[in-house]
Amino acid sequence: MGFGVTELLILLVIVALLFGTKKLRTMGSDLGSAVKGFRSAVKDADDKDSIENNTQSSESAHVIEGEIESDKK
């Protein structure tokens, strides 16, 4: 059993009466800012991980006759 459109509209009206429209707008914008900040933080973390993976793959080592020889000099 889910909520229908009528039930959701009644719930929205009750919440608007309890908190007021100004408070709801403020909470909505705060929530939007928080989600935007979270998404940008996750994207930055993914970018850091991909940069670290690229640098690690470029620092590969070669084994020649039992000795490890690094590309990085």
Confidence of residue 1 (pLDDT cuts 50, 70, 90): low
33 lies in some domain: yes
Within-domain flag for 68: no
Tokens of 61: 């080592």
On whether residue 28 sits in a domain, the answer given is yes
Q: How many separate domains does the chain show?
A: 1
2-16, 36-50, 59-73, range with the lowest pLDDT = 59-73
What was the pLDDT predicted at 29?
92
In a domain, 71, yes or no: no
Q: Classify residue 62: in a domain, yes or no.
A: no
Domain membership of residue 26 (yes or no) is yes
For residue 12, is it within any domain?
no
Q: Grade residue 46 by pLDDT with cuts at 50, 70 and 90.
A: confident
Domain assignment present for residue 13? The answer is no
- Contact call for residues 61 and 71 (beta carbons, < 8 A): yes
Please state the rounded mean pLDDT for residues 38-56: 78
Identify the domain containing residue 25 by its residue range.
20-49
